[in-house]
Structure 1
Protein backbone atom coordinates (compact mmCIF):
# COMPACT_ATOMS: atom_id res chain seq x y z
CA UNK A 1 0.00 0.00 0.00
CA UNK A 2 1.47 3.32 -1.10
CA UNK A 3 -0.02 6.47 0.39
CA UNK A 4 1.27 10.03 0.18
CA UNK A 5 0.89 12.86 2.67
CA UNK A 6 -0.74 14.90 -0.09
CA UNK A 7 -3.43 12.26 -0.57
CA UNK A 8 -4.04 11.99 3.18
CA UNK A 9 -4.26 15.77 3.48
CA UNK A 10 -6.85 15.91 0.70
CA UNK A 11 -8.79 12.98 2.20
CA UNK A 12 -8.85 14.68 5.62
CA UNK A 13 -10.17 17.90 4.07
CA UNK A 14 -12.98 16.04 2.24
CA UNK A 15 -13.85 14.09 5.40
CA UNK A 16 -13.92 17.25 7.52
CA UNK A 17 -15.94 19.27 5.01
CA UNK A 18 -18.15 16.34 3.94
CA UNK A 19 -17.85 17.80 0.45
CA UNK A 20 -15.47 17.50 -2.50
CA UNK A 21 -16.30 21.04 -3.56
CA UNK A 22 -15.69 22.70 -0.19
CA UNK A 23 -12.48 20.68 0.28
CA UNK A 24 -11.28 21.85 -3.13
CA UNK A 25 -11.95 25.47 -2.17
CA UNK A 26 -10.11 25.04 1.14
CA UNK A 27 -7.08 23.48 -0.59
CA UNK A 28 -7.16 25.84 -3.59
CA UNK A 29 -7.57 22.90 -5.97
CA UNK A 30 -10.13 22.03 -8.59
CA UNK A 31 -12.91 19.64 -7.67
CA UNK A 32 -11.82 17.09 -10.34
CA UNK A 33 -8.28 17.13 -8.92
CA UNK A 34 -9.63 16.35 -5.45
CA UNK A 35 -11.85 13.57 -6.79
CA UNK A 36 -8.91 12.05 -8.69
CA UNK A 37 -6.70 11.96 -5.57
CA UNK A 38 -9.44 10.31 -3.52
CA UNK A 39 -9.98 7.73 -6.29
CA UNK A 40 -6.24 6.93 -6.35
CA UNK A 41 -6.25 6.62 -2.55
CA UNK A 42 -9.20 4.21 -2.63
CA UNK A 43 -7.52 2.18 -5.36
CA UNK A 44 -4.32 1.94 -3.28
CA UNK A 45 -6.20 0.85 -0.16
CA UNK A 46 -8.64 -1.38 -2.05
CA UNK A 47 -11.67 -0.08 -0.17
CA UNK A 48 -14.19 2.72 -0.63
CA UNK A 49 -13.65 5.64 1.73
CA UNK A 50 -16.83 7.64 1.03
CA UNK A 51 -20.41 6.87 0.11
CA UNK A 52 -22.88 9.30 -1.42
CA UNK A 53 -26.41 9.09 -0.01
CA UNK A 54 -28.62 11.59 -1.76
CA UNK A 55 -26.84 14.93 -1.59
CA UNK A 56 -24.83 14.00 1.50
CA UNK A 57 -21.33 12.51 1.63
CA UNK A 58 -20.49 10.04 4.39
CA UNK A 59 -17.41 8.17 5.48
CA UNK A 60 -17.44 4.41 5.12
CA UNK A 61 -16.06 2.23 7.93
CA UNK A 62 -12.68 2.21 6.14
CA UNK A 63 -12.90 5.99 5.79
CA UNK A 64 -13.51 6.42 9.52
CA UNK A 65 -10.49 4.25 10.29
CA UNK A 66 -8.31 6.22 7.88
CA UNK A 67 -9.49 9.52 9.36
CA UNK A 68 -8.28 8.37 12.78
CA UNK A 69 -4.87 7.61 11.31
CA UNK A 70 -4.80 10.97 9.55
CA UNK A 71 -5.52 12.80 12.78
CA UNK A 72 -2.72 10.94 14.59
CA UNK A 73 -0.31 11.58 11.71
CA UNK A 74 -1.20 15.28 11.72
CA UNK A 75 -0.58 15.42 15.47
CA UNK A 76 2.82 13.76 15.09
CA UNK A 77 3.76 16.14 12.30
CA UNK A 78 2.83 19.09 14.52
CA UNK A 79 4.96 17.59 17.30
CA UNK A 80 7.84 17.18 14.87
CA UNK A 81 7.48 20.80 13.79
CA UNK A 82 7.57 21.90 17.44
CA UNK A 83 10.70 19.81 18.04
CA UNK A 84 12.47 21.24 15.00
CA UNK A 85 11.50 24.79 16.01
CA UNK A 86 12.90 24.11 19.49
CA UNK A 87 16.11 22.78 18.01
CA UNK A 88 16.49 25.88 15.87
CA UNK A 89 15.87 28.01 18.96
CA UNK A 90 18.47 25.92 20.91
CA UNK A 91 15.94 24.95 23.58
CA UNK A 92 16.27 21.21 22.99
CA UNK A 93 18.24 18.65 20.97
CA UNK A 94 21.18 16.29 21.50
CA UNK A 95 24.91 16.86 21.30
CA UNK A 96 27.43 14.00 21.11
CA UNK A 97 31.01 14.96 21.97
CA UNK A 98 34.01 12.61 21.88
CA UNK A 99 37.17 13.82 23.60
CA UNK A 100 40.72 12.56 24.02
CA UNK A 101 41.29 11.22 27.52
CA UNK A 102 43.59 14.10 28.52
CA UNK A 103 41.03 16.67 27.35
CA UNK A 104 38.43 15.31 29.74
CA UNK A 105 40.05 17.29 32.56
CA UNK A 106 38.62 20.51 31.12
CA UNK A 107 35.98 19.28 28.65
CA UNK A 108 33.61 18.12 31.38
CA UNK A 109 33.65 21.57 32.99
CA UNK A 110 33.01 23.27 29.65
CA UNK A 111 30.08 20.96 28.91
CA UNK A 112 28.65 21.64 32.37
CA UNK A 113 28.80 25.38 31.72
CA UNK A 114 27.20 24.93 28.29
CA UNK A 115 24.47 22.78 29.85
CA UNK A 116 23.61 25.56 32.31
CA UNK A 117 22.91 27.85 29.36
CA UNK A 118 20.95 25.14 27.49
CA UNK A 119 19.37 22.97 30.23
CA UNK A 120 17.05 21.02 27.92
CA UNK A 121 19.81 19.91 25.54
CA UNK A 122 20.87 16.29 26.08
CA UNK A 123 24.66 16.02 26.23
CA UNK A 124 26.70 12.88 25.65
CA UNK A 125 30.42 12.92 26.50
CA UNK A 126 32.59 10.00 25.41
CA UNK A 127 36.18 9.87 26.66
CA UNK A 128 38.57 7.64 24.76
CA UNK A 129 42.06 7.29 23.31
CA UNK A 130 43.21 8.78 20.03
CA UNK A 131 42.65 5.61 18.00
CA UNK A 132 39.03 5.18 19.04
CA UNK A 133 38.38 8.92 18.78
CA UNK A 134 39.45 8.93 15.14
CA UNK A 135 37.27 5.88 14.53
CA UNK A 136 34.32 7.72 16.07
CA UNK A 137 34.86 10.60 13.65
CA UNK A 138 35.16 8.25 10.65
CA UNK A 139 31.92 6.39 11.40
CA UNK A 140 30.04 9.62 12.23
CA UNK A 141 29.71 8.51 15.84
CA UNK A 142 29.96 12.03 17.23
CA UNK A 143 28.98 15.56 16.30
CA UNK A 144 32.26 17.09 17.43
CA UNK A 145 35.57 15.86 18.82
CA UNK A 146 38.21 17.49 21.00
CA UNK A 147 41.72 16.19 20.41
CA UNK A 148 45.35 17.01 19.79
CA UNK A 149 46.51 17.72 16.26
CA UNK A 150 44.48 15.52 13.88
CA UNK A 151 46.16 13.50 11.12
CA UNK A 152 46.58 15.45 7.89
CA UNK A 153 45.36 12.59 5.72
CA UNK A 154 41.80 12.80 7.06
CA UNK A 155 39.42 15.29 5.48
CA UNK A 156 38.58 17.16 8.68
CA UNK A 157 37.64 20.64 9.74
CA UNK A 158 39.96 21.36 12.70
CA UNK A 159 39.97 24.58 14.72
CA UNK A 160 42.61 25.40 17.33
CA UNK A 161 40.93 26.70 20.48
CA UNK A 162 43.46 26.35 23.29
CA UNK A 163 47.08 25.65 24.07
CA UNK A 164 48.06 22.32 25.62
CA UNK A 165 51.40 22.75 27.44
CA UNK A 166 53.37 19.62 28.30
CA UNK A 167 55.42 19.96 31.48
CA UNK A 168 57.90 17.89 33.47
CA UNK A 169 56.52 16.85 36.84
CA UNK A 170 58.29 15.40 39.89
CA UNK A 171 57.35 14.33 43.41
CA UNK A 172 57.30 17.35 45.69
CA UNK A 173 60.37 16.09 47.58
CA UNK A 174 62.55 15.54 44.47
CA UNK A 175 65.93 17.37 44.59
CA UNK A 176 65.28 19.08 41.24
CA UNK A 177 62.23 20.87 42.68
CA UNK A 178 64.55 23.37 44.34
CA UNK A 179 66.36 24.25 41.10
CA UNK A 180 65.45 26.83 38.43
CA UNK A 181 66.11 26.95 34.69
CA UNK A 182 67.17 23.30 34.70
CA UNK A 183 69.05 22.41 31.49
CA UNK A 184 67.09 20.09 29.22
CA UNK A 185 70.22 17.94 28.98
CA UNK A 186 69.97 17.37 32.74
CA UNK A 187 66.35 16.26 32.44
CA UNK A 188 67.32 13.88 29.62
CA UNK A 189 69.50 11.97 32.12
CA UNK A 190 66.48 11.20 34.32
CA UNK A 191 64.23 8.16 33.75
CA UNK A 192 60.80 9.22 32.53
CA UNK A 193 57.26 7.90 32.77
CA UNK A 194 55.52 8.80 29.51
CA UNK A 195 52.52 7.93 27.37
CA UNK A 196 52.51 4.84 25.21
CA UNK A 197 53.97 4.63 21.70
CA UNK A 198 51.50 5.91 19.09
CA UNK A 199 49.94 8.59 21.28
CA UNK A 200 50.11 12.18 20.11
CA UNK A 201 51.69 13.25 23.41
CA UNK A 202 54.49 10.68 23.10
CA UNK A 203 55.23 11.74 19.53
CA UNK A 204 55.47 15.41 20.54
CA UNK A 205 57.80 14.64 23.44
CA UNK A 206 60.14 12.49 21.37
CA UNK A 207 60.23 15.05 18.56
CA UNK A 208 60.98 17.84 21.06
CA UNK A 209 63.94 15.99 22.58
CA UNK A 210 65.20 14.90 19.15
CA UNK A 211 65.13 18.52 17.92
CA UNK A 212 67.38 19.41 20.85
CA UNK A 213 69.79 16.55 20.07
CA UNK A 214 68.62 14.49 23.04
CA UNK A 215 66.73 11.28 23.65
CA UNK A 216 64.42 10.03 26.39
CA UNK A 217 65.22 7.44 29.02
CA UNK A 218 61.84 5.73 29.34
CA UNK A 219 61.36 3.93 32.65
CA UNK A 220 57.70 3.10 32.04
CA UNK A 221 54.92 3.63 29.50
CA UNK A 222 51.38 4.41 30.62
CA UNK A 223 48.17 4.56 28.59
CA UNK A 224 46.63 7.34 30.70
CA UNK A 225 47.76 10.57 32.33
CA UNK A 226 46.24 9.46 35.63
CA UNK A 227 48.59 6.47 35.74
CA UNK A 228 51.60 8.68 34.97
CA UNK A 229 50.70 11.05 37.81
CA UNK A 230 50.31 8.22 40.28
CA UNK A 231 53.63 6.68 39.24
CA UNK A 232 55.51 9.98 39.59
CA UNK A 233 53.80 10.77 42.88
CA UNK A 234 54.90 7.36 44.18
CA UNK A 235 58.51 8.21 43.31
CA UNK A 236 59.00 5.93 40.31
CA UNK A 237 60.62 8.67 38.22
CA UNK A 238 59.89 12.00 36.55
CA UNK A 239 57.04 12.33 34.09
CA UNK A 240 55.78 14.55 31.28
CA UNK A 241 52.07 15.36 31.20
CA UNK A 242 49.67 18.05 30.05
CA UNK A 243 49.43 20.91 32.52
CA UNK A 244 45.63 20.58 32.26
CA UNK A 245 45.77 17.24 34.08
CA UNK A 246 47.62 18.25 37.27
CA UNK A 247 45.56 21.02 38.81
CA UNK A 248 44.53 18.93 41.83
CA UNK A 249 48.02 17.46 42.34
CA UNK A 250 49.58 20.91 42.39
CA UNK A 251 47.01 22.18 44.90
CA UNK A 252 47.63 19.22 47.20
CA UNK A 253 51.41 19.45 46.62
CA UNK A 254 51.67 15.83 45.55
CA UNK A 255 53.48 16.95 42.40
CA UNK A 256 55.53 19.93 41.31
CA UNK A 257 56.24 21.30 37.84
CA UNK A 258 59.97 21.55 37.24
CA UNK A 259 61.44 24.78 35.86
CA UNK A 260 63.10 23.41 32.70
CA UNK A 261 64.70 25.48 29.95
CA UNK A 262 62.84 25.58 26.61
CA UNK A 263 59.74 24.13 28.24
CA UNK A 264 56.82 23.70 28.33
CA UNK A 265 56.33 21.85 25.05
CA UNK A 266 53.42 23.71 23.46
CA UNK A 267 50.80 21.59 21.74
CA UNK A 268 47.26 22.65 20.91
CA UNK A 269 43.74 21.42 21.39
CA UNK A 270 41.53 21.18 18.30
CA UNK A 271 37.78 21.13 17.84
CA UNK A 272 37.23 18.66 15.02
CA UNK A 273 34.49 17.38 12.74
CA UNK A 274 34.30 15.87 9.27
CA UNK A 275 34.30 18.53 6.56
CA UNK A 276 31.18 17.19 4.87
CA UNK A 277 29.22 16.94 8.12
CA UNK A 278 26.35 19.41 8.47
CA UNK A 279 26.44 20.58 12.07
CA UNK A 280 23.19 20.95 13.97
CA UNK A 281 22.29 24.32 15.53
CA UNK A 282 23.28 22.87 18.93
CA UNK A 283 26.69 21.75 17.64
CA UNK A 284 27.29 25.18 16.09
CA UNK A 285 26.27 26.84 19.35
CA UNK A 286 28.72 24.67 21.30
CA UNK A 287 31.50 25.50 18.85
CA UNK A 288 30.91 29.21 19.39
CA UNK A 289 30.65 28.70 23.15
CA UNK A 290 33.94 26.77 23.26
CA UNK A 291 35.85 29.41 21.33
CA UNK A 292 34.55 32.21 23.53
CA UNK A 293 34.98 30.29 26.80
CA UNK A 294 38.64 29.35 26.37
CA UNK A 295 40.48 32.39 27.66
CA UNK A 296 44.00 31.25 26.72
CA UNK A 297 43.36 30.80 23.02
CA UNK A 298 46.54 30.95 20.93
CA UNK A 299 47.21 34.27 19.30
CA UNK A 300 47.49 34.57 15.53
Structure 2
Protein backbone atom coordinates (compact mmCIF):
# COMPACT_ATOMS: atom_id res chain seq x y z
CA UNK A 1 0.00 0.00 0.00
CA UNK A 2 1.58 3.24 -1.24
CA UNK A 3 1.89 5.91 1.46
CA UNK A 4 1.44 8.62 -1.15
CA UNK A 5 -1.88 7.08 -2.19
CA UNK A 6 -2.91 6.95 1.47
CA UNK A 7 -1.97 10.61 1.76
CA UNK A 8 -4.23 11.35 -1.21
CA UNK A 9 -7.07 9.36 0.39
CA UNK A 10 -6.67 11.18 3.69
CA UNK A 11 -6.67 14.57 1.95
CA UNK A 12 -9.99 13.77 0.25
CA UNK A 13 -11.46 12.51 3.52
CA UNK A 14 -10.35 15.62 5.42
CA UNK A 15 -11.26 18.12 2.72
CA UNK A 16 -14.53 16.26 1.91
CA UNK A 17 -13.92 17.17 -1.70
CA UNK A 18 -11.84 15.74 -4.58
CA UNK A 19 -11.23 19.19 -6.01
CA UNK A 20 -10.09 20.74 -2.71
CA UNK A 21 -7.87 17.70 -2.03
CA UNK A 22 -6.32 18.14 -5.48
CA UNK A 23 -5.58 21.79 -4.76
CA UNK A 24 -4.07 20.90 -1.36
CA UNK A 25 -1.81 18.27 -2.92
CA UNK A 26 -0.99 20.41 -5.97
CA UNK A 27 -2.34 17.73 -8.28
CA UNK A 28 -5.11 17.61 -10.85
CA UNK A 29 -8.53 16.36 -9.86
CA UNK A 30 -8.39 13.46 -12.37
CA UNK A 31 -5.09 12.35 -10.84
CA UNK A 32 -6.66 12.32 -7.38
CA UNK A 33 -9.69 10.41 -8.62
CA UNK A 34 -7.39 7.89 -10.32
CA UNK A 35 -5.38 7.37 -7.12
CA UNK A 36 -8.55 6.71 -5.10
CA UNK A 37 -9.87 4.31 -7.75
CA UNK A 38 -6.56 2.43 -7.66
CA UNK A 39 -6.69 2.19 -3.85
CA UNK A 40 -10.30 0.94 -3.91
CA UNK A 41 -9.35 -1.67 -6.50
CA UNK A 42 -6.38 -2.82 -4.41
CA UNK A 43 -8.46 -3.11 -1.23
CA UNK A 44 -11.60 -4.43 -2.89
CA UNK A 45 -13.68 -1.87 -1.04
CA UNK A 46 -15.56 1.31 -1.95
CA UNK A 47 -14.17 4.12 0.24
CA UNK A 48 -16.40 7.08 -0.66
CA UNK A 49 -20.17 7.30 -1.18
CA UNK A 50 -20.45 8.04 -4.87
CA UNK A 51 -23.96 9.44 -4.42
CA UNK A 52 -22.62 12.09 -2.07
CA UNK A 53 -20.98 15.27 -3.27
CA UNK A 54 -19.17 16.04 -0.05
CA UNK A 55 -16.74 13.07 0.04
CA UNK A 56 -18.66 11.08 2.62
CA UNK A 57 -16.77 7.97 3.72
CA UNK A 58 -18.22 4.48 3.60
CA UNK A 59 -17.75 2.23 6.64
CA UNK A 60 -14.64 0.80 4.98
CA UNK A 61 -13.39 4.32 4.31
CA UNK A 62 -13.89 5.31 7.94
CA UNK A 63 -11.84 2.32 9.12
CA UNK A 64 -9.07 3.02 6.61
CA UNK A 65 -8.96 6.71 7.57
CA UNK A 66 -7.96 5.81 11.14
CA UNK A 67 -5.13 3.53 10.02
CA UNK A 68 -3.99 5.85 7.23
CA UNK A 69 -3.58 8.66 9.78
CA UNK A 70 -1.51 6.34 12.02
CA UNK A 71 0.71 5.23 9.15
CA UNK A 72 1.35 8.77 7.97
CA UNK A 73 2.07 9.87 11.53
CA UNK A 74 4.58 7.02 11.83
CA UNK A 75 6.20 8.21 8.61
CA UNK A 76 6.53 11.64 10.15
CA UNK A 77 7.97 10.14 13.34
CA UNK A 78 10.49 8.15 11.28
CA UNK A 79 11.56 11.24 9.36
CA UNK A 80 11.96 13.16 12.62
CA UNK A 81 13.97 10.32 14.17
CA UNK A 82 16.29 10.19 11.15
CA UNK A 83 16.76 13.94 11.30
CA UNK A 84 17.62 13.66 14.98
CA UNK A 85 20.17 10.96 14.16
CA UNK A 86 21.78 13.16 11.51
CA UNK A 87 21.87 16.09 13.91
CA UNK A 88 23.13 13.84 16.74
CA UNK A 89 20.16 14.52 19.01
CA UNK A 90 19.75 10.78 19.47
CA UNK A 91 21.60 7.56 18.70
CA UNK A 92 24.08 5.15 20.22
CA UNK A 93 27.80 4.65 19.81
CA UNK A 94 29.07 1.14 20.59
CA UNK A 95 32.78 0.46 21.03
CA UNK A 96 35.00 -2.39 22.23
CA UNK A 97 38.21 -2.04 24.23
CA UNK A 98 40.25 -3.93 26.79
CA UNK A 99 41.52 -2.70 30.15
CA UNK A 100 44.51 -0.96 28.59
CA UNK A 101 42.99 0.60 25.47
CA UNK A 102 39.98 1.83 27.44
CA UNK A 103 42.34 4.33 29.11
CA UNK A 104 42.97 5.93 25.72
CA UNK A 105 39.22 6.27 25.22
CA UNK A 106 38.53 8.23 28.39
CA UNK A 107 39.76 11.69 27.28
CA UNK A 108 38.37 11.41 23.74
CA UNK A 109 35.03 10.12 25.05
CA UNK A 110 34.96 13.05 27.45
CA UNK A 111 35.39 15.41 24.49
CA UNK A 112 32.82 13.52 22.44
CA UNK A 113 30.32 13.57 25.29
CA UNK A 114 30.70 17.31 25.72
CA UNK A 115 29.88 17.83 22.04
CA UNK A 116 27.15 15.18 21.81
CA UNK A 117 25.49 14.85 25.24
CA UNK A 118 22.43 13.06 23.87
CA UNK A 119 24.30 10.18 22.27
CA UNK A 120 24.34 7.04 24.42
CA UNK A 121 27.82 5.56 24.81
CA UNK A 122 28.40 1.85 25.33
CA UNK A 123 31.96 0.53 25.73
CA UNK A 124 32.17 -3.24 25.73
CA UNK A 125 35.13 -4.76 27.55
CA UNK A 126 36.67 -7.52 25.48
CA UNK A 127 39.93 -9.40 25.01
CA UNK A 128 41.97 -7.56 22.40
CA UNK A 129 42.23 -10.68 20.22
CA UNK A 130 38.43 -10.85 19.94
CA UNK A 131 37.77 -7.22 19.10
CA UNK A 132 38.22 -7.55 15.30
CA UNK A 133 35.60 -10.33 15.31
CA UNK A 134 33.27 -8.09 17.32
CA UNK A 135 33.66 -5.42 14.65
CA UNK A 136 33.08 -7.82 11.77
CA UNK A 137 30.05 -9.41 13.43
CA UNK A 138 28.47 -5.96 13.97
CA UNK A 139 28.54 -6.42 17.76
CA UNK A 140 30.24 -3.00 17.91
CA UNK A 141 30.95 -0.30 15.35
CA UNK A 142 34.48 0.60 16.43
CA UNK A 143 37.13 -1.31 18.35
CA UNK A 144 40.33 -0.04 20.01
CA UNK A 145 43.30 -2.39 19.61
CA UNK A 146 47.07 -2.28 20.17
CA UNK A 147 47.89 -4.32 17.06
CA UNK A 148 47.23 -3.98 13.37
CA UNK A 149 44.24 -6.13 12.34
CA UNK A 150 45.20 -8.41 9.48
CA UNK A 151 41.69 -8.84 8.06
CA UNK A 152 41.24 -7.03 4.74
CA UNK A 153 37.65 -6.16 5.72
CA UNK A 154 38.83 -3.94 8.56
CA UNK A 155 40.10 -0.38 8.26
CA UNK A 156 42.50 0.81 10.97
CA UNK A 157 43.63 4.26 12.06
CA UNK A 158 46.56 4.83 14.42
CA UNK A 159 45.38 7.23 17.14
CA UNK A 160 47.97 6.99 19.93
CA UNK A 161 51.66 6.13 20.25
CA UNK A 162 52.69 4.49 23.50
CA UNK A 163 55.71 2.56 24.73
CA UNK A 164 56.41 -0.21 27.19
CA UNK A 165 57.87 1.03 30.48
CA UNK A 166 59.86 -0.78 33.15
CA UNK A 167 58.58 0.31 36.57
CA UNK A 168 59.59 -0.36 40.18
CA UNK A 169 58.48 0.85 43.60
CA UNK A 170 60.24 3.94 45.03
CA UNK A 171 61.94 1.70 47.63
CA UNK A 172 63.37 -0.71 45.08
CA UNK A 173 67.14 -0.91 44.67
CA UNK A 174 66.89 0.16 41.02
CA UNK A 175 64.65 3.16 41.73
CA UNK A 176 67.60 5.54 41.87
CA UNK A 177 68.98 4.49 38.50
CA UNK A 178 68.19 6.39 35.31
CA UNK A 179 68.96 3.37 33.12
CA UNK A 180 69.79 -0.29 33.49
CA UNK A 181 70.81 -3.05 31.10
CA UNK A 182 68.54 -5.98 30.37
CA UNK A 183 71.31 -8.25 31.67
CA UNK A 184 70.87 -6.67 35.10
CA UNK A 185 67.26 -7.83 35.22
CA UNK A 186 67.90 -11.57 35.23
CA UNK A 187 67.50 -11.79 39.01
CA UNK A 188 64.38 -9.60 39.19
CA UNK A 189 60.93 -10.99 39.92
CA UNK A 190 58.58 -9.76 37.20
CA UNK A 191 54.88 -9.30 37.91
CA UNK A 192 53.31 -10.29 34.61
CA UNK A 193 49.90 -10.16 32.96
CA UNK A 194 48.40 -13.62 32.54
CA UNK A 195 46.93 -12.88 29.09
CA UNK A 196 49.18 -13.72 26.14
CA UNK A 197 49.92 -10.79 23.81
CA UNK A 198 52.34 -9.83 21.01
CA UNK A 199 54.13 -7.47 23.41
CA UNK A 200 54.68 -10.28 25.91
CA UNK A 201 56.28 -12.38 23.18
CA UNK A 202 58.55 -9.49 22.20
CA UNK A 203 59.78 -9.19 25.77
CA UNK A 204 60.39 -12.93 26.07
CA UNK A 205 62.36 -12.92 22.81
CA UNK A 206 64.41 -9.91 23.93
CA UNK A 207 65.51 -11.73 27.09
CA UNK A 208 66.39 -14.80 25.02
CA UNK A 209 68.47 -12.74 22.57
CA UNK A 210 70.44 -11.28 25.45
CA UNK A 211 70.77 -14.69 27.12
CA UNK A 212 69.14 -13.38 30.27
CA UNK A 213 66.64 -15.36 32.36
CA UNK A 214 63.17 -13.86 32.65
CA UNK A 215 61.60 -14.74 35.97
CA UNK A 216 57.84 -14.23 35.99
CA UNK A 217 57.15 -15.30 39.55
CA UNK A 218 53.68 -13.78 39.72
CA UNK A 219 50.98 -13.49 37.06
CA UNK A 220 47.92 -11.31 37.67
CA UNK A 221 44.72 -10.77 35.65
CA UNK A 222 44.72 -6.95 35.38
CA UNK A 223 47.21 -4.15 34.87
CA UNK A 224 45.72 -2.36 37.87
CA UNK A 225 46.54 -5.33 40.09
CA UNK A 226 50.07 -5.51 38.65
CA UNK A 227 50.71 -1.84 39.45
CA UNK A 228 49.43 -2.18 43.01
CA UNK A 229 51.54 -5.29 43.61
CA UNK A 230 54.68 -3.55 42.34
CA UNK A 231 53.92 -0.53 44.56
CA UNK A 232 53.85 -2.93 47.52
CA UNK A 233 57.41 -3.95 46.71
CA UNK A 234 56.70 -7.45 45.41
CA UNK A 235 58.66 -7.16 42.18
CA UNK A 236 59.04 -5.19 38.95
CA UNK A 237 56.90 -4.92 35.84
CA UNK A 238 56.78 -3.93 32.20
CA UNK A 239 53.55 -2.06 31.49
CA UNK A 240 52.22 0.32 28.82
CA UNK A 241 53.15 3.92 29.59
CA UNK A 242 49.54 5.04 29.27
CA UNK A 243 48.59 2.88 32.24
CA UNK A 244 51.11 4.38 34.71
CA UNK A 245 50.97 8.11 33.94
CA UNK A 246 49.31 9.05 37.23
CA UNK A 247 51.55 6.75 39.31
CA UNK A 248 54.73 8.16 37.77
CA UNK A 249 53.50 11.72 38.32
CA UNK A 250 52.60 11.02 41.97
CA UNK A 251 55.78 9.06 42.68
CA UNK A 252 53.92 5.85 43.55
CA UNK A 253 56.00 4.13 40.87
CA UNK A 254 59.37 4.93 39.31
CA UNK A 255 60.31 4.38 35.68
CA UNK A 256 63.80 3.11 34.86
CA UNK A 257 64.93 3.11 31.24
CA UNK A 258 65.97 -0.22 29.70
CA UNK A 259 67.44 0.41 26.24
CA UNK A 260 66.87 -3.17 25.06
CA UNK A 261 63.18 -3.04 26.02
CA UNK A 262 62.11 0.12 24.18
CA UNK A 263 59.02 -1.20 22.38
CA UNK A 264 56.55 1.21 20.81
CA UNK A 265 52.85 0.38 20.96
CA UNK A 266 50.39 1.94 18.56
CA UNK A 267 46.74 2.12 19.49
CA UNK A 268 44.32 1.89 16.62
CA UNK A 269 40.65 2.40 15.95
CA UNK A 270 39.30 -0.46 13.86
CA UNK A 271 36.02 -0.55 11.96
CA UNK A 272 34.48 -2.34 8.99
CA UNK A 273 35.91 -1.11 5.71
CA UNK A 274 32.69 -1.51 3.72
CA UNK A 275 30.38 -0.37 6.52
CA UNK A 276 28.09 2.60 6.41
CA UNK A 277 28.95 4.00 9.83
CA UNK A 278 26.23 5.57 11.93
CA UNK A 279 26.14 9.35 12.28
CA UNK A 280 27.30 8.88 15.88
CA UNK A 281 30.32 6.80 14.81
CA UNK A 282 31.32 9.21 12.03
CA UNK A 283 31.10 12.09 14.48
CA UNK A 284 33.31 10.14 16.92
CA UNK A 285 36.03 9.74 14.27
CA UNK A 286 35.85 13.46 13.55
CA UNK A 287 36.21 14.25 17.27
CA UNK A 288 39.19 11.89 17.57
CA UNK A 289 40.92 13.49 14.58
CA UNK A 290 40.33 17.03 15.86
CA UNK A 291 41.44 16.04 19.37
CA UNK A 292 44.70 14.58 18.03
CA UNK A 293 45.38 17.68 15.94
CA UNK A 294 44.83 19.91 18.95
CA UNK A 295 46.76 17.84 21.52
CA UNK A 296 49.58 16.55 19.33
CA UNK A 297 51.94 13.68 20.19
CA UNK A 298 51.30 11.03 21.49
CA UNK A 299 47.81 11.49 20.05
CA UNK A 300 47.58 11.17 16.27
CA UNK A 301 45.21 10.20 13.47
CA UNK A 302 46.97 8.22 10.74
CA UNK A 303 45.08 5.84 8.48
CA UNK A 304 47.05 2.69 7.72
CA UNK A 305 47.32 1.38 4.18
CA UNK A 306 47.40 -2.12 2.80
CA UNK A 307 45.95 -5.08 4.67
CA UNK A 308 43.77 -3.78 7.47
CA UNK A 309 44.23 -0.23 6.20
CA UNK A 310 42.51 1.96 3.66
For the aligned pair, the TM-score class normalised by the smaller chain equals 0.7 to 0.9
TM-score normalized by the length of structure 2: 0.84
Match of 2:273 in 1: 275
> Secondary structure of the residue that 1:49 maps to in structure 2?
coil
- CA deviations over 1:201-257 (Å, ceiling 9, x no partner): 323433554566656332233332112213322333211111111233334433221
Q: Identify the match of residue 91 of structure 2 among 78, 90, 93.
A: 93
Match of 1:161 in 2: 159
Q: CA deviation at 1:198?
A: 3.1
CA–CA separation in structure 2 for the residues paired with 1:144 and 1:299: 15
Match of 1:66 in 2: 64
Is the 1:49–1:63 Cα contact (8 Å) retained in structure 2?
A: yes
CA–CA separation in structure 2 for the residues paired with 1:207 and 1:13: 77
> Secondary structure of the residue that 2:269 maps to in structure 1?
strand
> Secondary structure of the residue that 2:175 maps to in structure 1?
helix
CA–CA separation in structure 1 for the residues paired with 2:245 and 2:199: 18
> Secondary structure of the residue that 1:96 maps to in structure 2?
strand
Is the 1:160–1:271 Cα contact (8 Å) retained in structure 2?
A: yes
TM-score normalized by the length of structure 1: 0.86
Is the 1:197–1:203 Cα contact (8 Å) retained in structure 2?
A: no
2:176 pairs with 1:178: yes
Match of 1:190 in 2: 188
Q: How does 1:188-227 map to 2 (within 5 A)?
A: 188-209=186-207, 216-227=214-225
Residue 251 to residue 219, structure 1, CA distance change in 2 (3 Å): same
2:8 pairs with 1:7: no
Moved more, 135-144 or 28-37: 28-37
CA–CA separation in structure 1 for the residues paired with 2:48 and 2:209: 84
Q: Give every structure 1 segment of 4 or more consecutive aligned residues whose post-TM-superposition deviation is greater than 6 Å.
A: none
Match of 1:152 in 2: 150
Q: Identify the match of residue 53 of structure 1 among 38, 51, 54.
A: 51
Q: Identify the match of residue 103 of structure 1 among 101, 104, 123.
A: 101
- Unaligned segments of structure 2, at least 5 residues: 303-310
CA–CA separation in structure 2 for the residues paired with 1:159 and 1:281: 18
Match of 2:305 in 1: none
Is the 1:176–1:258 Cα contact (8 Å) retained in structure 2?
A: yes
> Secondary structure of the residue that 1:52 maps to in structure 2?
coil
Q: CA deviation at 1:181?
A: 1.9
Is the 1:42–1:49 Cα contact (8 Å) retained in structure 2?
A: yes
State how many pairs are aligned.
Answer: 298
Is the 1:95–1:283 Cα contact (8 Å) retained in structure 2?
A: yes
CA–CA separation in structure 1 for the residues paired with 2:42 and 2:210: 78
> Secondary structure of the residue that 1:159 maps to in structure 2?
strand
Is the 1:94–1:121 Cα contact (8 Å) retained in structure 2?
A: yes
Report the aligned-residue RMSD.
2.7
CA–CA separation in structure 1 for the residues paired with 2:52 and 2:300: 81
- CA deviations over 1:79-130 (Å, ceiling 9, x no partner): 3222222322333322112122201223123212211111122211222221
Residue 121 to residue 275, structure 1, CA distance change in 2 (3 Å): same
Q: How does 1:223-238 map to 2 (within 5 A)?
A: 223-238=221-236
Match of 2:287 in 1: 289
